[in-house]
Amino acid sequence: MSVILFIGDGMGVPHLTWDYYANENSPFRKFPVAGLVATDPAGKSKVGESAASATALATGHKVEKGMISVDDNGERLKTVLEVANEHAKATGIVTTTSITHATPAAFVSHVLNRGMEYEIAAQICSSNVDVLMGGGLRFFEKNIVLDTNLISIMINRGYFFVSSYVQLEKTFTDTISKLLGLFAYEGLKRAELRTLTLKEMTRIAVEVLDNNPKGFFLMVEGGQIDWRGHEKDEYGFKVEMKDFTDAINWALDYQRKRNDLLIVVVGDHETGGLVLKEDSDEIGIKPIFTTNQHTASFVAIFAKGPWEEKFCGLHEIADIGKILIDVAKR
């Protein structure tokens, strides 16, 4: 059994509502199962953030803000990718941010604070993740934790390394079993400027991972939906949502070829206090951000494939992580 988990960073219910009305081919029209998720972290706060939410999704445990897959004592919490690896599955991470950023980091590393990106990169270097694509070149070229070039180490460990889409297009073959793609110094360019789309990265990741007969677990993050919310950028969130939903639509099309693939789409928290006001344009609604911060709003979850029924209803975000870990063992 295989899983593709899509995480819309900062994607609240209004974000996907806008896509539903604006896009006749919206993937949110195509899922048989939907639910809601409370994203509050451990502690008193009811407002989620990426590190705590991603840790909950990756490990099934609630932690306080900023912590990456460790408990209050700093002990490692086993992640769903580590569980999948124990069951001989291939694993991968795809993101539009740096692969050391909070959401991907929670699936592949264990640190007390999300800001420890050089340490996160060092842990990624020694991990067993098969596909890693996104930004973050600065943390690998000259890693100050290990005082070395991590890219060279990963190449020696069998990774095929690329740093541009042109290079990837020219050199990619179906014989690649481990892929490291670092396409920017930190996060990737904004969606309207990117030549390498999230859809294309997802397709390539699946092509590599699907060579494993035991199945795979792939996490795909639309990481800059959150960034555009912080900027209160109403145009920007639309193009980031399109980049994200194009990738989901590709996965849904791919799923038709097989009966052993679960696709899950979830937000990690809501960013921007987005509201949709009535408008006279052809869509009939206008998105307006009311804050540049996160909010406590529930997010939505969608599922299609084996075990889809487990995701129906209202959930705590850590409960989603527990379900994903159970699925990764199948």
Q: Which of the 8 DSSP states describes residue 209?
A: H
135, two tokens = 């930004």
pLDDT in tens, 122-154: 999 999 999 999 999 999 999 999 999 999 999
Instruction: Write down the pLDDT at residue 125.
Output: 97
Instruction: Write down the pLDDT at residue 169.
Output: 85
Mean pLDDT of the 273-287 span: 90
Strand partners, 267: 8
Helices (H), the chain: 13-22, 50-59, 80-86, 102-108, 117-125, 137-141, 150-156, 165-171, 198-209, 224-230, 234-255, 317-328
Q: How far is CA 157 from CA 18, 60, 181, in A?
A: 44, 30, 15
196, two tokens = 């390498």
Mean pLDDT of the 304-323 span: 98
Q: Helices (H), strands (E): how many in the chain? A: 12, 14
pLDDT in tens, 207-250: 999 999 999 999 999 999 999 999 999 999 999 999 999 999 99
Residue 298: count of CB within 10 angstroms of its CB: 20
Mean pLDDT of the 46-53 span: 98
Q: Cα-flanking dihedrals φ and ψ of residue 35, to 5°?
A: -155, -175
CA nearest neighbour of 245 among 288, 294, 191: 191
Residue 12 pLDDT exceeds 90: yes
Q: Which of the 8 DSSP states describes residue 5?
A: E
Instruction: Write down the pLDDT at residue 127.
Output: 96
Contact 150, 140 (CB under 8 A): yes
Instruction: Write down the pLDDT at residue 60.
Output: 99
Contact 276, 286 (CB under 8 A): yes
pLDDT confidence bin for 309, thresholds 50/70/90: very high
pLDDT in tens, 170-208: 888 888 999 999 999 999 999 999 999 999 999 999 999
pLDDT confidence bin for 253, thresholds 50/70/90: very high
Helix (H, G, I), strand (E, B) or coil at 213: coil
What is the spatial distance between Cα 241 and Cα 243, in angstroms, rounded to a whole number? 5
CA nearest neighbour of 238 among 269, 201, 192: 192
- Amino acid type, 59: T
Instruction: Write down the pLDDT at residue 315.
Output: 98
Q: Which of the 8 DSSP states describes residue 27?
A: G
DSSP letters spanning 264-294 = EEEESSEES--EEEE-SSSS-EEEE---SSE
Q: What is the CATH number of domain 2-328?
A: 3.40.720.10
Q: Which of the 8 DSSP states describes residue 66?
A: T
Instruction: Write down the pLDDT at residue 186.
Output: 97
Known active-site residue 50? yes
Domains of the chain by residue range: 2-328
Instruction: Write down the pLDDT at residue 282.
Output: 78
Active-site entry in 2, 26, 50, 297: 50
Alpha-carbon radius of gyration of the chain: 18
Q: Cα-flanking dihedrals φ and ψ of residue 96, to 5°?
A: -90, -5
Helix (H, G, I), strand (E, B) or coil at 214: coil
Residues 6+ apart with CB under 8 A from 174: 207, 211
pLDDT confidence bin for 280, thresholds 50/70/90: confident
Mean pLDDT of the 287-295 span: 98
Mean pLDDT of the 285-303 span: 98
Mean pLDDT of the 259-275 span: 98
pLDDT in tens, 98-128: 999 999 999 999 999 999 999 999 999 999 9
